[in-house]
Amino acid sequence: MNGELPHDTFTIVYPHVILRVATSTAMTRTQAPPATGVVGTSVPRIEDLRLVTGAGTFVDDVTRPGMVHACFVRSPLPRARIGSVDASAALQLDGVFAVYTAAELNTVAHQISYALDMPGMPPVPRPPLAEEEVRFVGDPVALVVAADRYIAEDAAELVEVEYEPLEPVLDYVTADTSPHLVHAGFAGNSAGEMAGRPASDLDPIFDSAAHVVQQQIFQQAYLPVPMETRGLVAEWSASTAEMTVWISTQSPHEVRGFCARLLGIDEHRVRVVARDTGGGFGLKVAPLREEICVQLAARKLGTAVKWIEDRQENLMSSGMARHEHADVRMAFDAEARILAAGMDHVQNVGAYPTPSPLTAGVVVGMLFPGPYRVPDASFSVKFHYSNTVGRLAYRGPWQFESVAREVLLDHAARRIGIDPVELRRRNMIRREDLPAFNPHGMPLDHISPLETLEQAVAMLGYEDFREEQKRARTEGRYLGVGTCTYVEPTTGGTSFHSTEGATIRIEPTGKVNVYVAGGSAGNSLETTVVQLTADALGVAMADVRTIQGDTAITPFGAGTGGSRSGSMTAGAIAETARGLRERIVAIAAHRLGTVPDEIDFVNSIASVRNAPDKSLSLAEIADIAYFQGEALPPGVPPGLEASGRYRTPHMMIWANATHVCTCEVDVETGKVSLLRYIVSEDCGKMINPAVVEGQICGGTVQGIGGALYEHLAYDDSGNPVATTFMDYLLPTASEIPVIEIGHVDTPSPGPGNFKGVGEGGAIGATPAVLNAVADALAPFGIELSQLPLSPSAVLRMIDEARAAGKGTE
C-alpha cells in the first residue's frame, strides 16, 4: 500500500508543486448534492492570463504626474539616543526635495490607530519616525524625498545622525528582568499579559496522574516573504483636500480608514486603490510605519510620493513573527488518556508590534487543547518588548499552539511507549462529542479531526511505512513520520470582520459586474467571486466580471485575513443576488405570460418550464429593465442593480486538517530530506478545488520553511544577520516533495457550507515536519526543543546525545 492512494485520484500540475489529490466520499459526513453550476469545479483562474503574461498592475507600475520617490535613513544600532540630524549635505544634492525627521513628520500625524485596536488593550507605541531613541537596527530615523529612488538613496547616505549607544534588550526571554527598557513607561518590558485558569489549580491532577510529560519548546523568528514587497504611492490634492493611495494591501478599506484618522480628514476624502498584490500573508493587513511616513510626506509636499520596499528592507525592518517559547505539560491516565494540559507561553513582540500582540497571542493559549478531549487546562501568555524588529501578523498567527501541542504529544507517546497515532486516536474529539466546548470555553462544532487523521494515515499506508522504517534502521538509515491534527478558527466575527458587502450590476447588454471590497493577494478572489456570482444569479460565468480593490466604487469590507474571504464573500453575494434574481424572474414571467414559479433561469436564459421554446436571454431582460419601463411588472423598479451586506452570526467557523510527513535524516551531514507529504483537509464545500489546493500547498511550503530553513537571526550585538536571500533561506521546489491532498467535507454553518482555508497549511506543516524528524532521531533519545532544524542543529543534537550516552544507536 505504501506509495499508493486508496482513493480515486487525479493530478494537477503547477509551476512548483504537483498535487496528487485523493477524493473521499466514505469519510464525508454529509454527501453534498452534485453541483449544478460552476461552484465546486476547478475552473481555470481568471487572473492567471493577466499575471503570467506580465500584464498585471502592481504598485511599482503606478506613475503619477510630478511623482517623487522616498528612501529611509535607518538606524545601524539596536538601541541608541538620537542626537543631531544633519541633512544639509543631502539637501544640496541635485534632485532632493526634502528630508524629514520626527520633528517635521510625527507632529502632523493626527491619530495612529487600527480597526483591530480593541478597547481595553494596552497601548502600543508607534511613532512614524524614531523619536529620541532608535529601538532596532533598521528603525527609520529620517525620510528623504527626491526625483528618483537612486538620488534618494545617495542622499540618505549623506544624512549624518549622531547616536549615543545604549544597552539594548536583545533576549526577549529575560527582558522582564532587564534593568533596561525598550520603551520608557513599560515596566519589565511588558507589552501585556493574560491568563486563563491558574496552573496551580491543576497541580493535584498532575500529582496523581499515571503519566506526566513536560517540555520547553522554542520557535525562531521568521517572517512573511511576499514576492512583491511593500509599496505605495500617496498623492495629496490640495485643491480638493483629498488623498489617493495606490498600495499593495490585503485590506483597502482598512487603509482608507487608517489614512483618514492619520490625516484628520473625512473618510470619503480618501480613496485607496489596490490592483494586483503579489502576496501578503499578514504583512499587508495594516499600514506600517513606513506607509504612515509616506502618506504624511505626500500631504506636506502636495504631490505624489512613491516608496517601494527593497528586499533588504523587507528582511530587516518589515516585521517578524513566530518568535516565542512555551513550557507545556500534559497529564495522562494509565490508558494514555489526557487528564489535563497546561501552557505558559512567552512571545517576543520586538520594538513596534502591529497590531496589538494580544489580539492573536491570547488565542494561542485558548486553542492549545486543540482537537482533543482535554477535561482541564490552564494557560498564561506574556508579551515582551525587545530591541528587534516588531512582531506582525503572519499566516495563522496563533500557529504556535499546534507546534507546542503536537510536538509534546509525540514526546508523550515515546515516554509512555505508545504509537503517536494511537495516542491521538484515543484522545481525539469525535463527531458524537459535538457540539462541545474546550476547557477554555471555546465552542467547537462542524469539525472532523478523527476523520482527517484516518484519511491521512491511510493515504500514507502508515503500518507499511513503520515496517519500512524498521528495515531502514537495520541498514543505518533513519526514517521518520510525523503528524499534526489541528482545528482552525476561520471567518472570525470581530466587529471589524463581521460584515461584507457586494454590489451586482447587470448592464443593459446582460453582462454582469460584481463589486466587492477585495484584498486579493494571490488567493484568487477574482475567480472565486465570479464563480459565486454566476451560480447565485444563474448566469454564464463568461458573462461575469468583478471589480475589486477601489474604495471609491466598492462596498466596505475587511479584506483578506483570518481565512474569511470565501465564506464572507459568498454570504455577501448570496444576499445581493437573491433579490436581483427575483427581479429577473419577475420580468421574464411578465413578458412570457406566466408566473415566476414557472420560470427556470439557467445559464443567462429564462425559459418557461415545460415550454422551453418560450424564453428570454438576460440581455433581453436587461433591455426591458432599462429601456422599457412601461413593460415592467407592477412593483418591479427599473434597472438591474442591487447592493447587499452579509453579517456573520458566528464567533468563528471551524476548519480542521491533519498533516502527515515522512523524512530521512542523514546523521553524518544533518540534512533532512522530506519523502512524502500528505494533507487531509476539511474546509467544507470547496468553491474551486484547484484554488483550495493551491492555498493548502502554499501554506504548507511556508510551514516547512519554518521548520527547516527560515530564521530571522540576530547576532549578540543586535545586528540582523539574514538580510539577503543568501542568508535568509527559503524552501524551493527542489526541497518540497509531491503534496498529496485528501478532502473531508463537513458542512459549515456559514453561507454555502463554505469554511476558510487560507491559513491551514502554515499551521499544520511545521509540527508535522518536526515530529517526523524527532521520530527519525528517536534511536538517539533526542527530544526537540529548538527551531529551525538546520543541518548544524541536527548534528549538534546528535553529538550531544552521543556524548550523554542517550538512546540505543
Say what the pLDDT of residue 798 is.
97
Q: Is the distance from CB of 296 to CB of 307 less than 8 angstroms? A: no
At 645-672, the pLDDT tens digits run 999 999 999 999 999 999 999 999 999 9
Is the peptide bond between 355 and the residue preceding it cis, with omega within 30 degrees of 0? yes
pLDDT confidence tier of residue 809, bands split at 50, 70 and 90: low
pLDDT value at position 727? 96
Q: Which residues lie below 8 Å from residue 689, measured CB to CB, with a gap of 6+? A: 21, 40, 41, 42, 743
Query: How much is the average pLDDT of 629-635?
Result: 95
What integer pLDDT is reported at residue 491 of this predicted model? 95
Amino acid residing at 96 = V
Mean predicted confidence (pLDDT) in 453-465 = 98
Let me know if 229 is exposed, middle or buried by CB neighbors in 10 A (0-12, 13-18, 19+): buried
- Given a cut of 90, whether residue 14 has pLDDT beyond it is no
DSSP type of residue 636: P
In this predicted model, what pLDDT tens digit does every residue of 256-285 receive, in sequence order? 999 999 999 999 999 999 999 999 999 999
696-740 confidence digits (pLDDT tens): 999 999 999 999 999 999 999 999 999 999 999 999 999 999 999
pLDDT exceeds 50 at position 18: no
pLDDT at 4: 32
Q: Where are the beta strands (DSSP E) in 450-608?
A: 478-490, 499-506, 512-516, 544-548, 599-602, 605-608
The three cell numbers of residue 349 are 513582540
E strand or H helix at 298: helix 289-301
DSSP state of 736: -
Residue 383: is its pLDDT beyond 70? yes
Q: Note the pLDDT tens digit of each residue in 126-170.
A: 999 999 999 999 999 999 999 999 999 999 999 999 999 999 999
Q: What is the pLDDT of residue 806?
A: 84
Query: What is the pLDDT, as a whole number, of residue 120?
Result: 84
Q: Report the length, in residues, of the chain.
A: 809
Structure confidence at residue 33 (pLDDT): 34
DSSP for 316-379? HHS-BB--EEEEEEEEE-TTS-EEEEEEEEEEEEESS-BS-THHHHHHHHHHTTTTB--SEEEE
Q: Residue 121 — very low, low, confident or very high, per pLDDT cuts 50/70/90?
A: confident
Query: What are φ and ψ of residue 159, in 5° steps?
Result: -75, 125
Q: Please report the pLDDT score of residue 595 as a whole number.
A: 97
> Domains along the chain?
8-28+319-382+395-493+650-803 (3.30.365.10), 59-169+226-280+284-317 (3.90.1170.50), 499-647 (3.30.365.10)
Cβ atoms of 410 and 424 closer than 8 Å: no
**Is the model more confident about 239 or about 612?**
239
Helix H, strand E, coil C: the string for 154-216 is HHHHHCEEEEEECCCCCCHHHHHHCCCCCCCCCHHHEEEEEECCCHHHHHHHHHHCCEEEEEE
For the chain, give the mean pLDDT: 94
Q: Of 608, 592, 206, nearest to 375 (Cα)?
A: 206
Confidence at residue 171, expressed as pLDDT on a 0 to 100 scale: 98
Q: Which residues, including other chains, have CB under 8 Å from residue 243's CB and lie 6 or more apart? A: 234, 235, 236, 237, 259, 263, 265, 269, 270, 271, 295, 298, 299
- What's the average model confidence in pLDDT over 684-696? 97
Contacts for 598 with CB less than 8 Å, ≥ 6 apart: 589, 608, 609, 610
Reference 302, options 260, 239, 257, 255; nearest CA is: 239
Q: What is the predicted pLDDT for the residue at 10?
A: 31
